[in-house]
Structure 1
Amino acid sequence: MEQQLNNPKTLNAWAFYDWANSVHSLTITSAIFPIYFPSAAITLGSTTPGMISILGFELSNTVVFSYSISVAFLALTILMPFLSGIADYTGAKKSFMRFFCYLGSFSCIALFFFSKGHYFIGTLGFLFSIIGWGGSMVFYNSFLPEIATPDRFDRLSAKGFTLGYIGSVLLLVQNLTMLLKPEWYGGIEGEMAARVSFLTVGLWWLLFAQIPLHYLPDSIAKEKDTRHWWLGGFKELRKVFKEVIVIKEVKFFLISFFLFNMGAQTVMYLGALFGSQELHLPEDALIITILLIQLVAIPGAYFCARLSGWIGNIKALGLIVLVWIFICAYAYTVTSQFNFYLLATAIGFVMGGIQSNSRATYAKLCPKGEKDTASYFSFFDVCDRMSTVLGTFMFGLVIQLTGNMRISILVLTIVFGASLLFLRPLLRSAKAKTIWG
């Protein structure tokens, strides 16, 4: 039985999951939790500040924070291709999405109990919240070609990102008032205010996710040998992998996506580090920067969706990547807080655009008539996660070798430039001409 495409309730419900889960990316990944973690992840009574003992090893809490991100992304990279194949084979896509959604949201709720000295709660809660967020996003993204026709992909994808940006900013502003204006909340202390903000993220995510989980359709299971159903995941992965290698457009796009996403995600995760360590900006200036990026990303996502309609997805991606190259070159010269705000504005505008455009373009590239969309999007997710791991590692390695963070920024211009080389063959392909002009 074919799923009904372009059902308004289904489309709106799908986009609403961005509203539900994006609060994690802003409050937990970018803004409040990274500031709170170093102060709370300590060994009580220790004479060495910032050092904690894990499995007999003495590690800096900032290193533990970094390793938590790496472990979470590596776990996603290993697990998701396997699980998404099973989801396609069994028709359990929405069940998997629900599981990871609940894992992420309850992990955020658990962070409420992350007080000083309880670093295991903070570390594991943070790690599993990332796994829950990333895992649910794979199955969420894979619903796009099942509920909409290709002409709706760009705007629907942009709508999701926009709702996510709006929702995450609204909750972050509310949580910041607890930290900056505690008298409004009965004099709540700073540590408790931060922990309550983690609780609100988990509850927001859990409650609003019920809308897409209710309205999204159940996937159709493939005919299978019930005695060996678990092998279906491997069979689907093997099939999709062979197709990805053969289909030139998909192969070149994934390589290009790997490269430009490596640059974009590195800037997103480590941009605040550049502002604090290289420019020595205060914490309030960094929070303003994060909010600025989120707000500017809203019109950026919609503008880039329109741009894709005017000149085609691949040409639009090429222009966006060119802007990223100029951004990295400009970042090398930035020395003042005002110029850093200008830089953040430009980053926010193209950050929303490159994420939204990439998701919509890949959905268009998936072979028509295929039902194993979760398996196809698992490859998309693998590129996303691995490029993030490699990009952040490379950024840190260049700093370690040169002692100069600005040189790391210049290296990113080379990465963005290389991604353009793999977009060029798509402009000349017959499929590119028929799909996006």
Structure 2
Amino acid sequence: MTGSDVTAFADFSPVRRRREQRAWNWYDWANSAYYTTVLTVLFGPFMITVAGRAAGCGDDADDTCKKTVDVLGLHLAAGSLPSYLTSFATIASAFLLPIVGALVDRSGRKKWHMGWCAWAGSFAAALLFFMSGDHWQLGAAAVVVSSILGGCSLVSYYAILVDISTEDERDAASSRGWAFGYLGGGLLLLINLVMVEAHGAFGIGKELAVRLSLLSAALWWAGFTIIPVRRLRDRPARAVVPEPGGLVRRSFGQLWTTLGEMRAFPMTLTFLIAYLFFNDGIQTVIYSASIYGSKQLHFGDSVLIAAILMIQFVAFGGALFFGRWAQRYGAYRCLLYGTFAWMAIVVLAMFLPARNIALFLLIGVAIALVMGGTQALSRSFFSLLIPRGREGEYFALYNACERGTSWFGTLLFGLVFQLTGSYRPAIVSLVVFFVLGAVFLLRLDPRRGIEEAGNAVPAAV
């Protein structure tokens, strides 16, 4: 038997794909530490403390500090500064990412784009270590730059999923990545919260413990990114739109062509609209959970910290469970049922009694299970609705739409609280986002959308 006969008899491509999928998972593990430790938990309170000193609020500044600091000629309240910085980075990303996506599709070097954006972003995040005393300016610039670069790296990361998995493998691969991310982010967050809360046992002050935790997230992000960059392989660009000029000019041209052609993919657009709504609801539930638990249900920091950690680790199982469920019933059905589950969660949350830890944690478990699944399957299902060779652009639009509208939910939450004076109607008002998401999902024909994009229809849709 010749070598060619052996090759024809034994197809090793599934083994190679699975090897690359395992390498790909490591980037979820790497970047999740930044999003959990830095953006979700530690940066906001620490920035308020540091900026509060500069504004004259003292060392105990919190989000009620109304004294202002000067930001490029604007006088912003120190207590609101983290929110403004996050919003600016989000809006800037919404405009920048589609251009980045077009460039990625043309370059044929997705893994290196992911890697260099990740390393540049982690370097910017490492500068947060030097935010101390009343010197908040470097930290403000660092968090904006690192957040934008993190979004740029995710454009390539998501696009690579299409290169390393078949349509039938997509849901499981994406779910394992999300699960791995929750596990990695939760593990480092646990280590950092122990260091911050028990800083005296380590012989350091609390602020130094926070700064070291911020630095650890940057190093974690940079270090673990080496694994996928080394083990993944780049593929040549496919189905590139002919455009004149250099790479950047051609990328702009391809972007405009793609935007014009999206009318030919109505199911893709329908899913993007559905995703805008239900993802905004998910992000607002995550944002408001600690506020609701603290201000309405009167839980202390220890309960809230325990809930945050529990959600990270339970979401690991939720992502894997939904991935297996999708293999049997299809990602579309799982996403639709997931939006129904989110509706039930926010309605039940409205009736939670104050200071009942068991019921609060039970709702947290439900949030974690559904959150892990819906986020993982949204990514994999959308990948089936993308024409080949346009993964970077479409995932850039996916991320840009997510970032560009993620303030709707928080705006509604704040307005309802202002009108009613209670967080209970504010939390239940978020059900409108899941209802609208479900309405658009019900209008979507998944099989038609996959076929229109030129992809193979998985065994379970």
Please indicate the TM-score interval, normalised by the length of the shorter structure: over 0.9
Q: What letter corresponds to residue 363 of structure 1 in structure 2?
A: S
Q: Residue deviations 1:184-229, cap 9 Å, x none?
A: 42x1110100000011111111111011122222242448667433
The residue that corresponds to 1:357 in the other structure is 377
SS of alignment partner, residue 151 of structure 1: coil
Kindly provide the CA deviation profile for residues 165-201 of structure 1, in whole angstroms up to 9, marking residues without a partner as x.
111121112112212223442x111010000001111
In the TM superposition, what is the alpha-carbon distance from 1:114 to its structure 2 partner? 0.9
Assess if the C-alpha contact under 8 Å between 1:155 and 1:305 holds in 2: yes
1:8 aligns with 2:18: yes
Contact 2:97 2:151 in 1 (8 A): no
Cα offset, 1:260, TM superposition: 0.4
2:261 aligned with 1:251, yes or no? no
Q: For the residues of structure 2 that align with 1:142 and 1:259, how far apart are their CA atoms?
A: 22
Q: Give the Å deviation of 1:56.
A: 4.3
Contact 1:314 1:427 (8 Å CA) reproduced: no
Once the two structures are TM-superposed, the CA of residue 94 in structure 1 deviates from its matched residue by 3.1
Indicate the SS of the match to 1:41.
helix
Letter in 1 for 2:375: Q
In the alignment, which residue of structure 2 is the partner of 1:158? 175
Deviations 1:55-88 (A, max 9, x none): 4444322211111111111111000001111221
Partner residue of 1:110? 127
Match of 1:414 in 2: 432
Q: Is the 8 A contact 2:37 2:189 kept in 1?
A: yes
| Partner SS for 1:59 | strand
Specify the alignment match of 2:81 in structure 1: 64
Question: What secondary structure, in the 3-state scheme, does the structure 1 residue paired with 2:229 have?
Answer: helix
Superposed displacement of residue 430, structure 1 = 4.0
Report the Cα offset of residue 404 of structure 1: 2.9
Asked whether the equivalents of residues 172 and 323 of structure 2 are also in contact (C-alpha less than 8 Å), the reply is: yes
Change (3 A) 1:401 1:95: farther
Structure 2 CA distance for partners of 1:229 and 1:385, relative to 1, 3 Å: same
Question: Are residues 1:202 and 2:218 paired?
Answer: yes
C-alpha distance in 1 between matches for 2:145 and 2:295: 28
Query: Structure 1: where are the runs of 5+ without partners?
Result: none
Q: Which residue of 2 aligns with 1:128?
A: 145
- What are the equivalent positions in structure 2 for 1:293-372 lying under 5 Å apart? 293-337=311-355, 338=357, 339-367=359-387, 370-372=388-390
1:359 counterpart letter in structure 2: R
The C-alpha deviation readout for 1:204-261, integer Å capped at 9, x for no partner, is 1111101112222224244866743322212222232233322122111111111100
- Larger mean CA deviation between 60-69 and 348-357 belongs to 60-69
Q: For residue 127 of structure 1, report the CA deviation from its aligned partner.
A: 1.9
Measured in 1, the distance between the counterparts of 2:57 and 2:272 equals 49
Distance 1:431 1:128, change over 3 A: closer
Contact 1:73 1:389 in 2 (8 A): no
Letter in structure 2 aligned against 1:24: Y
Q: For each residue in 1:387-435, what CA deviation from the matched residue of structure 2 results, as whole angstroms up to 9, or x when unmatched?
A: 3132223322333344332222222111101111111132475457954
Kindly indicate whether the alpha-carbon contact (under 8 Å) linking 1:178 and 1:188 is maintained by their aligned counterparts in 2: no
Aligned partner of 1:27 in structure 2 is 37
Residues 52/122 of structure 1: CA separation in 2 closer, same or farther (3 Å cut): farther
- Paired residue type of 1:272: S
- Matched to 1:137, the amino acid is L
Q: Which amino acid aligns with 2:25?
A: A
| 1:227-266 alignment, distance < 5 Å | 227-266=245-284
Q: Secondary structure at the match of 1:149?
A: coil
Are the aligned partners of 1:296 and 1:348 in contact in 2 as well (CA < 8 Å)?
Answer: yes
How far apart, in 1, do the equivalents of 2:399 and 2:78 lie?
28
Pair 1:86 & 2:118 matched: no
| Range 188-197 or range 39-48, more displaced | 39-48
Query: In structure 2, how many angstroms separate the alpha carbons of the residues matched to 1:110 and 1:81?
Result: 27
Q: Is the 8 A contact 1:43 1:52 kept in 2?
A: no
1:272 alignment counterpart: 290
Find the partner of 1:46 among 49, 56, 66.
56
SS of equivalent to 1:116: coil
Count residues with an aligned counterpart: 431
Q: Which amino acid aligns with 2:360?
A: F
Q: Deviations over 1:6-65 (max 9, x none)?
A: 533321111110011100111112222233222222244826763342144443222111
Q: Which moved more, 1:244-253 or 1:50-59?
A: 50-59
Which of 157, 169, 187 matches 1:140?
A: 157
Shift of residue 282, structure 1, vs aligned partner? 1.3
Query: Does residue 96 in structure 1 map to residue 119 in structure 2?
Result: no
Deviates more, 1:113-122 or 1:202-211: 113-122
Letter in 2 for 1:23: A
- Aligned-partner Cα distance in 2 for 1:234–1:394: 35
Q: CA RMSD in A?
A: 2.2
Offset at residue 313 of structure 1 (A):
1.4
Q: Note if 1:193 corresponds to 2:213.
A: no
The range that moved more, 350-359 or 44-53, is 44-53
1:300 and 1:353 in contact (8 A); partners too: yes
Q: Deviation of residue 113 (structure 1)? A: 0.7
2:444 is paired with a residue whose SS is helix
> SS of the counterpart of 1:281?
coil
Query: After the TM superposition, which residues 355-394 of structure 1 pair with which residues of structure 2 at under 5 Å, given as runs?
Result: 355-367=375-387, 370-394=388-412
The 1-side partners of 2:115 and 2:446 are apart by 40
Question: 1:329–1:410: 8 Å Cα contact kept in structure 2?
Answer: yes
Is 2:69–2:78's contact at 8 Å kept on the other side of the alignment?
no
User: How far did 1:281 drift?
Assistant: 1.9
Q: Secondary structure at the match of 2:52?
A: coil
Relative to structure 1, the CA distance from residue 366 to residue 428 in structure 2 (aligned partners, 3 Å threshold; closer, same or farther) is closer
Structure 2 CA distance, aligned partners of 1:64 and 1:371?
40
Q: Name the TM-score, length of structure 2 as normaliser.
A: 0.88
CA distance in structure 2 between the aligned counterparts of 1:256 and 1:428, rounded to whole angstroms: 13
